[in-house]
Structure 1
């Protein structure tokens, strides 16, 4: 019997670090009867943060998926991390959600990280409600935060409720649609509230905001708007229908407020999820793609009657083994089914299937379109793989992950733990596609690569605690790149004559700087067959293999174009391998002459600082070779945006906290590669040469 999908809501909760996102999730679970004792994040006891690292740092690292029920509707809730090093988690979660709740702090407002997450959600076209939390905090101001949402995020908040009281006198909210006041007592229990008349001093405000609410909502329905202009008030049902439509089309975002910690205002948010966020069938279906990632024009229609299609969006290791979280887009999955992983071309058998409740689970025998479940014991599935019906192979839109920008060398403290370390790191890599590992061929060192200092810090912490592997950690290294700045025309001949068949390949070529972000491109303008066509792939491959180690310091080479324009071959002695060797020799011979240049990763840095420290912060960014792009003043302080080389940002957070007496915050993400100044490049190149000499 297929469940009624109109009663499903797949929602994510996302926000800035410390906006109270996990507490909000806790409250939703409490209200929906999933937990009996409330865990408090600041006591390190929340339900969805079950990793030791999460409880300790008070931040959510992994997104946990939990199912619960409210007023006959099933919610699948995904709690996502807010810290910038983990945005890949947010990005992944958004792929499988139908709606979301954006949580903002009533006093902190729209912080740097909320902007990145909001942008991801816009890209993924996810409908959202806004919940302004912590209204009992000093300095909290609901209307100011809604103004910030407009200004900083360029979004249109649709105010659904008004707070009663401010800061420590905050006691409840007025529902603008029904004109009812909900007032909670001081017990902190969510069910202890009364519905009363609107406080007399709020009557004018309520009418003003209610009128704004209705006018904005009715823009979704011309007939109702005309009638309203002529003095005919629409019914609450009609207004809700319009709000639902506008929310789905991202025309506006219904905005609620409260205090999750004090349990005030949460029920209205849950009602909002039911009333305004889309069911799985109302969201634009996921496009199917071919192996190259080009859309085929077909879609995964959300329906139990279609062939089975699902996306693996998260892999997690826990004490029961590997869990693969999947979002089922179409069809039905039964325990014991054999399914196809379209990425590897291999089939997998579904042994156990569970519904998650943070750290507990319920075994399932069947799941269907719209569900988010975890499968136990799949072998070769990674994040972003499509699982589908064996007879109907397909690929859901593939996920794109950013390249890591920072690396560190590690070795186990105990020499005997090398194998144990390898297994543990392997597990972490399969869980997180932005975390990579490689072995330095010359030194045999293990190199870990990631998105930032915190990202790698936490991985090392997990290795120590969860897997018992203690590591000696080297200095963080920047992922430099190399390129060339001058065009060069050259010729190279590879010939070897020594008994038996020889080898011969001659190439005439030009190497020139390519367009930015093109990587490596190869083209041939050979005419008259002086180099037969069948050798072109070998020449292209020879150059390509060499691009991984540049002429200056052995870093990968970017943005180079190679053009083959002439050459020569021998009827007997020429072979693909001879031309591949010629291309490699040509690279070694010509690249050093093409004025090679070192490139460094430049980060987009967003710093929040109190007004009084702005001079120090900008001066410090300038000393770090930063380029200030702009600054905006807000109620709480100033946001400074800048481009700064990654090499200058190590340990920045402790420095920023010292300058701002602990009030500064920052986020950064990779932006682009840019030429390294000579004095910096010389030091980096010298260091690399010394490293090689010592090996």
Structure 2
């Protein structure tokens, strides 16, 4: 093992590592629980400090908590000879990308549920997401000492929300009621050890549980033991239990570990991070109950040609396969990457093959796309500890570390041996669906803004940026308002670029509603060389998506053959600029049937202008229709909110085209909704569905905008 006295937490083999992601909503107490675990392990002097007796200012404390609330952070603790990496994931729904990165880096998930707030809809969705990949899960109930806390009630909520297999492994001993209610201890149902916290000591010795607690919680213990033995499939222990024989607690604990690893049993533990109640018991249970990295499934790996690679395992002597879970820019050391090593051993100052999955940056001239791989030298390796990073000389398979000086690394990239390049198939990044327009606040900062946004998207693939070819706006897509605020804050304070945000303009179009005719007359005489070009056209509407169909019906040479393409060029240019509302004109047939020319003054430019004027004239004579983009929207939501979601979609001029049932008491709604009505749907759906709804959107077509809506739209300027 690495030298603890030197302050370098590490592990020599995967069996001595546990990677656990803490999952739960904001306010459940994840970060407080992590700090309490660090304090109980002796890694920090108090929550927020680095060493025993070290303090931080209030400003630093706020900054640390804000950073943890939006980023994935790793906090290693040593429990005996086992290194436990606690991955504190963000609780806000806007940072689901960082939460999924934490799950990729973990081998088990600890769901943190507040005894006051219970289980919300978003937590149920995350539980199902973990269940879909077979990740072992446990539950830590926090704030059990609050006067309004009801441990039994919140356990019942967990059992209802998470399904079978959820059973309390520890129960609190409570004295008094109301404001006089006080948690005086916790009892382990498997070990039958009772920990007395009545004197306020954060490190009590185990002793026999009070008789009243054994009597009230005894049935819970019987149910727990039966479930553990059943899930672990230990027939010998089951037979002994059925015969009424004494059960060895150590054997039960070993069976509990097997049951948790199998994914069918989920123990619930009682904690109060502020007082430290149950924290040491939780810390002791983590390495016992959670599987080591060798027991978990290996992520899918492919060769450079895309062929799957079979037989990979968590072996320190195997080929190097590591993945970048997150990246951040440090003002002093540059880009720092959080890396999970799945196979092999990573050492500093060695060359690795860096294979990127491609980040859809969408900015002209950006190098963020189509990165097929290159070799780079690994910089110093370290592990986070409190507010410091401690250097390490190697990181074995199953462990996590921070890697400096990998300037080209992006979230989701793979590090492998240059002699055997491999690529880990990245986890599913959420689709950003909340758009906002960006513009540099200072003139001349456009180039700096483009570079800063490209780096921002490289660090966080849950962001997407594009320059809309129709509206010419730079649009940043995020997962929600909190996600957007964090991105704008990084742009200003980390990259030094101030921006102005605005409403995204929906790319409307226009077309002819009925046939029309127009004449373009461009005749200018100024005493010298003039301009002369006259053309007459017929315009007819076409089916959606047809574009422009240009027909030449000139006879007798009234428009010389060399100038017919000029008329078409002018028509196309005017279509791009629009003829009435400033929106592009689409889906028409233009027939050139007559015109006039001059032997001297006619030219290519003269007939281009004539073509423009003819299309404008036809628009004045005819009737135009404004077209709006319509998206295909797919919403998945809890059954309880299906009616509210469908009513809301209808109020947005949406047409529901179908519904279907999904797993876990959820429903899927498919609808066609105008883009004008869903620019902020990523935020509004959460309110309608109480955080349980997710959706996707894809462009479907343009269709006529109702006149009453079109009359309220401003005419684009410029």
Same fold (TM over 0.5): yes
Relative to structure 1, the CA distance from residue 678 to residue 446 in structure 2 (aligned partners, 3 Å threshold; closer, same or farther) is closer
| CA 1:651–1:99: 2 relative to 1, 3 Å | closer
- How far the C-alpha of 1:126 sits from its partner, in A, is 1.8
* 1:278 equivalent among 276, 281, 291: 291
Instruction: Indicate the residue corresponding to 1:561 in structure 2.
Output: none
Partner secondary structure for residue 247 of structure 2: coil
Preserved CA contact (<8 Å) 1:286 1:397: yes
Q: What secondary structure, in the 3-state scheme, does the structure 2 residue paired with 1:415 have?
A: coil
Which residue of the other structure, out of 479, 499, 502, is the alignment partner of 1:451?
A: 479
Task: Please say if residues 101 and 128 of structure 1, whose CA atoms lie closer than 8 Å, have aligned partners that are also in contact.
Answer: yes
Is 1:288 equivalent to 2:301 in the alignment? Answer: yes
Q: Contact 1:410–1:471 (CA<8 Å) still a contact in 2? A: yes
Give distance in 2, aligned partners of 1:488 and 1:433.
Answer: 32
Residue 87 (structure 1) aligns with: 96
Question: Partner of 1:217 in structure 2?
Answer: 228
Distance 1:438 1:640, change over 3 A: closer
Using the TM superposition, give the Cα deviation of residue 649 of structure 1 relative to its aligned residue in structure 2, in angstroms.
8.1
Contact 2:187 2:195 in 1 (8 A): yes
Matches of 2:706 and 2:303, distance apart in 1: 42
- Per the alignment, residue 62 of structure 1 pairs with 71
How far apart are residue 116 of structure 1 and its match?
Answer: 2.5
The aligned runs of 1:122-141 (5 Å cut-off) are 122-141=131-150
2:631 maps to which residue?
599
Cα distance in 1 for partners of 2:482, 2:547 equals 46
Query: Number of matched residues?
Result: 577
Residue 17 of structure 1 contacts residue 113 of structure 1 at CA under 8 Å; is this kept in 2?
no
Cα deviation for residue 656 of structure 1 reads: 10
Per-residue deviation, 1:147:
2.1
Aligned to 1:204: 215
The CA distance in 2 between the partners of 1:73 and 1:286, in whole Å, is: 23
Alpha-carbon distance in structure 2 between the residues aligned to 1:607 and 1:261: 37
Offset of residue 619 of structure 1: 8.8
In structure 2, the residue matched to 1:316 is 328
Say if 1:687 and 1:297 are closer, same or farther in 2 by CA, change over 3 A. Answer: farther
Is 1:669 equivalent to 2:694 in the alignment?
yes
TM-aligned CA deviation for residue 429 of structure 1: 0.9
* Structure 2 CA distance for partners of 1:616 and 1:218, relative to 1, 3 Å: closer
1:68–1:233 distance in 2 versus 1, CA, 3 Å: same
Determine the structure 2 residue equivalent to 1:576: none
1:688 to partner: Cα distance: 8.8
Counterpart residue number, 2:315:
303
Q: CA deviation at 1:651?
A: 9.5
**3-state SS of 2:98 partner:** helix
8 Å CA contact retained: 1:107, 1:138: no
1:369 to 393, 397, 401: 397
Counterpart in the other structure of 1:146: 155
Q: 1:408 to 1:395 in 2, by over 3 A?
A: same
8 Å contact kept, 1:157–1:252: yes
- Provide closer, same or farther for how the CA distance between residues 672 and 436 of structure 1 changes in structure 2, counting only shifts above 3 A: closer
The 8 Å contact of residues 631 and 697 in structure 2, kept in 1 or not, is answered as no
Cα offset for 1:442?
6.0
| Residues 353, 373 of structure 1: 8 Å contact kept | yes
Mind listing any 5+ residue stretches in structure 2 that lack a counterpart?
Answer: 2-10, 50-54, 357-371, 511-541, 553-559, 566-575, 577-581, 586-623, 661-665
Indicate the residue corresponding to 2:266 in structure 1. 253
CA distance in 1, matches of 2:686, 2:377: 51
SS at match of 2:47: coil
| Deviation of the 1:229 alpha carbon | 1.0
Deviation at 1:20, TM superposition (A): 0.6
Query: Quick check: 2:636–2:667 contact (8 Å CA) kept in 1?
Result: no
Structure 1 residues 581-602: Cα deviation after superposition (integer angstroms, max 9, x where no partner) = xxxxxxxxxxx99x99722645
Distance in 2 separating the partners of 1:648 and 1:389:
46
1:242 aligned partner: 255
For the aligned residues, what is the CA RMSD?
4.6
Give the Cα–Cα distance (whole angstroms) in 2 for the partners of residues 292 and 596 of structure 1.
Answer: 42
The CA distance in 1 between the partners of 2:546 and 2:493, in whole Å, is 56
* Offset from partner CA, 1:29-86 (integer Å, 9 cap, x none): 111212112239xxxx999x97966745x97100111222112211112110111111
Q: CA contact under 8 A between 1:63 and 1:78: conserved in structure 2?
A: yes
1:22–1:46: 8 Å Cα contact kept in structure 2? no
Give secondary structure in 1 for the equivalent of 2:427.
coil
Given that 2:434 and 2:679 are in contact with CA atoms closer than 8 Å, whether structure 1 keeps it comes out as no
Match of 1:175 among 183, 188, 199: 188
TM-score by length of 2: 0.70
CA contact (8 A) 1:406 1:476 kept: no
Alignment of 1:423-572 (within 5 A): 423-441=451-469, 444-475=472-503
Counterparts in 2 of 1:100 and 1:597: CA distance versus 1, 3 Å = closer
Instruction: Give yes or no for the alignment of 1:348 onto 2:373.
Output: no
1:133/1:148 Cα in 2 relative to 1: closer, same or farther (>3 Å)?
Answer: same
Residue 409 of structure 2 is aligned to residue 409 of structure 1: no
The TM-score, its normalising length taken from structure 1, stands at 0.72
Q: Deviations over 1:615-644 (max 9, x none)?
A: 9999989856799999xxxxxxxx999999
Contact 1:26 1:46 (C-alpha < 8 Å) held by counterparts = no
Give the superposition deviation at 1:248: 0.6
* Structure 1 pair 397–602 and aligned structure 2 pair: CA distance change class (3 A): closer
Distance change in 2, residues 1:461/1:476 (3 Å): farther
Q: Is the 8 A contact 1:314 1:325 kept in 2?
A: yes
| 3-state SS of 2:252 partner | helix
| Whole-angstrom CA distance in 2 between matches of 1:441 and 1:674 | 15
| Deviation by residue 1:394-420 (Cα, 9 ceiling, x = unmatched) | 122233323322211121222243344
**Which of 184, 192, 197 is matched with 1:184 structurally?**
197
Correspondences of 1:605-616 after superposition (within 5 Å): none
Equivalent position SS for 1:254 = strand
- Contact 2:508/2:584, CA 8 A, preserved across alignment: no
User: Which string of whole-angstrom CA distances, capped at 9 and with x for unpartnered residues, describes residues 221-246 of structure 1?
Assistant: 12221221122233112111211111
Query: In the alignment, is the contact (CA less than 8 A) between 2:165 and 2:264 conserved in 1?
Result: yes
